């Protein structure tokens, strides 16, 4: 497993964790009269005087009219034209109050900061080169994926342009010059590279070469990893220090990549919301088709969530927006839950990494290991501190170098390993290798400073019997760098993946979908050591990362493939196809399980299920949503006029007199005193032949489900049919219960939707 690393405002759930922005105001000394602070200012664009040709000229004029104005070039950071209407600027409290008195002012957001969350996976997704979605989509040819992240390492072979088509003529982006980054490194694969750091620097946080490059070049490696996961070109013979060896390629290997660097590795590990918003704004202007964000702000209403607002602007222009769900792991921890965003949780792959040990009595055990060398240890003495519980668990400072130097130490744990204690301890005392007996290891791939592996405590019984029954227990052999495919059960819901229900909008089931997010091999930046071993620092250009940050670009890549096949589909149609084609059965024939508990997971954990790209290409039916549907959804949230203006970025809208359901491909019913909930849906037929769909309902005890009508007949493509789903629970139903609706036709299409009922 790879460690969840915290970096700037990002939920970089790569067990490297996805950008979680903490709303912190940062003051910046700038005036003798008063301190300046950065604010994002939302303006009602309908108030722009006709005398101003552009919104930016209007915004600058507003700043020039303030009391004690500085030069507007110094005050203004960004003027936004696509994600929102407004600007970000450094203002005093007095200047801010003057702007807020204007009738054109809609909202103010103090600058916010946060931290980063964070070859086999395309095959695991069923993406094969000769059939299915991948060749049908020409491998994503002509589609542009915009990645909002930490930058990119352009020299990585994943971004070579062998076999790539020309840059689309509609592309308006560019590659910027900067520190250690020349526009000449861009090509037909990497067609855009821009960086945004004005907000960060306005807060007094400097970008120095010690911590990052003042350009689009990736210092940390996260953006390189997500980009190559979504759309990396074919690169044979790569591995993580020998593990997972094979050909690396992105989900859409012929799609173009545009990087928008908004996250920075600084001495204070911060990134600014104003920069993230500027990156999204530019991506829309440049003409991306898909936008992937492994980041997000805190859980806040949509009218305060700049990612939600900016994403709605992108959706309105036909851009598919994919975001990581977060790495908090518990209930109600979802980020990026707006219904116009495709929200992605993380699942495991059917691949594991091992070491084997054989004792001199012939017993052999296989354990988990990421030790980055093909080491072979033979005929080594074993050490087990059985006379002292503290020694047996290898607690920090417990071992005596004179007793254990040169031996293989057994660390007996009934709970989890203390990464920074026990591994450090066996390394400190000069142990030859270590065996950790535990069921809940939190060792990560960069923690293996000496040869070591973890074994389940069930294996510990036999090992303890052996070492306590021999005067000189010996390890016969210990082997490393073993990769195993077909691991069962898989996929599972990753332990760190955020779960629903969404606290902001519990009436929409989130996450939407599960995708590979554990031990994903992809390109990284080789500029900094991945780990240390003794006196050596190890670097690599491909590494295993984990997190919902890794899951999101998988879905972005699939969205690119679907968009290449179905160019007229809306973002909602693409999400619907992905969701209704998902599967919920693992490779043992069981409902998907929770990696942490081993128990059956629920749609609150995995949404519609695990992504199944090739079936999504021909879903049969789609649940489409247009912009007015989102307006109706927002009307139903009870927002006031000003809050609606903020989210919709328009002065006028129409709300129906009666509440309407959002035409979502999943169902969640929140029960208080009532026992019956009805949902209205409309499905659009996207098949080629006449078809008749029959409703099949999975109803657990305590729940009744009825679809009316139960048969939907279609005689032509794009024909629409409405139905009502009724969900009823009885008094004995548990607090959370779920079922399923499947529409099945005679052409072997299955259109599946989860149904969740929660009693409050």
Residues marked active site are found at: 149, 222, 549
Burial of residue 701, with CB atoms counted within 10 A of its CB: 0-12 exposed, 13-18 middle, 19 or more buried: exposed
- Residue burial 423-462, b: 16+ Cβ < 10 Å; e: rest: bbbbbebebbbbbbbbeebbbbbbbbbbbbbbbebebbee
Q: What is the DSSP string of 325-375?
A: --S--STT---S--TTSEEEEEE--SEEEEEEEEETTS-EEEEE---SS--
Query: What crossing angle do the helices spanning 627-635 and 641-648 adopt, rounded to 10°?
Result: 150
Two tokens, residue 58: 């209007």
168 DSSP 8-state letter: P
In the three-class reduction of DSSP (H, G, I as helix; E, B as strand; rest coil), residue 699 is classed as coil
Give the chain's count of helices (H) and strands (E).
19, 41
Cβ neighbours for 624, distance < 8 A, ≥ 6 positions apart: 570, 572, 573, 576, 663, 682, 684
In the three-class reduction of DSSP (H, G, I as helix; E, B as strand; rest coil), residue 268 is classed as coil
Q: Would you give the distance in Å from CA 109 to the centre of its chain?
A: 25
Query: CB atoms < 10 A from the CB of 301, how many?
Result: 14
- Asked if 367 and 331 touch (Cβ cutoff 8 Å), the reply is no
- Asked if 307 and 286 touch (Cβ cutoff 8 Å), the reply is no
Q: Strand pairing of 542-545 and 520-523?
A: antiparallel
**Nearest Cα to 427, choosing from 531, 540, 543?**
531
State the Cα–Cα distance between residues 237 and 229, nearest whole angstrom.
16
State the Cα–Cα distance between residues 463 and 468, nearest whole angstrom.
8
- Asked if 736 and 707 touch (Cβ cutoff 8 Å), the reply is no
- Asked if 323 and 342 touch (Cβ cutoff 8 Å), the reply is yes
270 DSSP 8-state letter: -
732 DSSP 8-state letter: T
- Put the strands of the sheet holding 750-759 in their side by side order: 667-671, 750-759, 736-744, 691-698, 711-714
Q: Strand pairing of 736-744 and 750-759?
A: antiparallel
State the Cα–Cα distance between residues 290 and 250, nearest whole angstrom.
15
- Asked if 619 and 500 touch (Cβ cutoff 8 Å), the reply is no
- Residue burial 100-109, b: 16+ Cβ < 10 Å; e: rest: eeeebbbbeb
């Amino acid at each position: 497993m790879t460690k969840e690393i915290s970096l700037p405002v990002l939920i970089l759930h790569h067990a490297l964790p996805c950008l979680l922005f903490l709303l912190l105001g940062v003051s910046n000394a700038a005036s003798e009269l008063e301190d300046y602070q950065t604010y994002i200012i939302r303006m009602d664009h309908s108030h722009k005087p006709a005398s101003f040709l552009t919104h930016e000229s209007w915004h600058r004029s507003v700043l020039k009219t303030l009391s004690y104005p500085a030069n507007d070039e110094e005050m203004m950071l960004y003027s936004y034209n696509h994600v929102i209407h407004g600007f970000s600027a450094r203002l005093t409290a007095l200047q801010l109050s003057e702007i807020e008195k204007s009738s054109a002012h809609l909202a103010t957001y103090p600058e916010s900061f946060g931290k980063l969350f964070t070859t086999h996976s395309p095959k695991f997704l069923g993406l094969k080169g000769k059939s299915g979605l991948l060749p049908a989509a020409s491998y994503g040819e002509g589609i542009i994926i915009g990645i909002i992240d930490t930058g990119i390492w352009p020299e990585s072979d994943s971004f070579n342009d062998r076999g790539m088509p020309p840059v689309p003529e509609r592309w308006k982006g560019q590659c910027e010059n900067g520190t250690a980054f020349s526009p000449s490194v861009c090509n037909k694969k990497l067609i855009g590279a821009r960086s945004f750091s004005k907000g960060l620097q306005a807060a007094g946080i400097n970008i120095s070469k010690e911590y990052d490059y003042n350009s689009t070049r990736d210092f940390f490696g996260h953006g390189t990893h997500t980009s190559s996961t979504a759309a990396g070109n074919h690169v044979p013979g790569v591995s993580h220090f020998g593990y997972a060896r094979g050909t690396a390629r992105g989900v859409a290997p012929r799609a173009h990549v545009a990087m928008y660097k908004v996250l920075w590795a600084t001495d204070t590990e911060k990134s600014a919301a104003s920069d993230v918003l500027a990156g999204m704004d530019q991506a829309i202007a440049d003409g991306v088709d898909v936008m992937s964000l492994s980041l997000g702000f805190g859980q806040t209403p949509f009218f305060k969530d700049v990612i939600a607002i900016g994403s709605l602007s992108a959706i309105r222009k036909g851009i598919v927006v994919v975001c990581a769900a977060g790495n908090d792991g518990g209930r109600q921890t979802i980020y990026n839950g707006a219904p116009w965003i495709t929200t992605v949780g993380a699942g495991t792959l059917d691949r594991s990494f091992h070491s084997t040990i054989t004792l001199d009595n012939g017993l052999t055990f296989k354990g988990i290991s990421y030790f980055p060398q093909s080491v072979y240890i033979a005929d080594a003495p074993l050490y087990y501190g059985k006379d002292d519980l503290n020694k047996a668990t290898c607690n920090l400072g417990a071992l005596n170098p004179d007793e254990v130097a040169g031996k293989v130490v057994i660390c007996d744990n009934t709970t989890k390993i203390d990464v920074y204690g026990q591994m450090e301890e066996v390394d400190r005392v000069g142990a030859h290798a270590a065996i950790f007996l535990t069921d809940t290891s939190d060792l990560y791939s960069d923690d293996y400073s000496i040869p070591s592996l973890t074994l389940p405590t069930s294996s510990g019984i036999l090992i303890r019997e052996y070492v306590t029954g021999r005067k000189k227990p010996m390890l016969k052999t210990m082997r490393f760098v073993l990769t195993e495919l077909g691991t069962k059960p898989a996929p599972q819901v990753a332990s760190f993946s955020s779960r629903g229900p969404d606290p902001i909008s519990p009436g929409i089931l989130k996450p939407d979908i599960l995708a590979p997010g554990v031990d994903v091999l992809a390109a990284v930046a080789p500029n900094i050591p991945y780990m240390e071993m003794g006196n050596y620092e190890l670097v690599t250009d491909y590494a295993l990362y984990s997190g919902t940050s890794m899951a999101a670009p998988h879905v972005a890549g699939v969205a690119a493939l679907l968009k290449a096949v179905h160019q007229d589909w809306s973002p909602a149609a693409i999400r619907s196809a992905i969701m209704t084609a998902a599967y919920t059965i693992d490779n043992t024939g069981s409902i998907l399980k929770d990696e942490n508990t081993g128990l059956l997971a629920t749609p609150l954990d995995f949404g519609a299920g695990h992504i199944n790209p090739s079936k999504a290409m021909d879903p049969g039916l789609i649940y489409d949503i247009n912009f007015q549907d989102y307006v109706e959804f927002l009307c139903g949230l009870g927002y006031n006029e000003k809050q609606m203006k903020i989210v919709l970025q328009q002065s006028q809208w129409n709300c129906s007199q009666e509440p309407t359901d959002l035409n979502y491909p999943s169902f969640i019913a929140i029960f208080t005193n009532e026992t019956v909930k009805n949902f209205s849906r409309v499905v659009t037929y996207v098949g080629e032949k006449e078809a008749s769909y029959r409703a099949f309902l999975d109803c657990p005890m305590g729940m009744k489900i009825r679809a009316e009508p139960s048969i939907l007949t279609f005689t032509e493509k794009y024909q629409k049919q409405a139905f009502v789903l009724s969900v009823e629970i009885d008094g004995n139903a548990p607090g959370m219960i779920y079922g399923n609706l499947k529409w099945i036709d005679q052409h072997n299409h299955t259109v599946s939707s989860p149904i969740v009922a929660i009693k409050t």
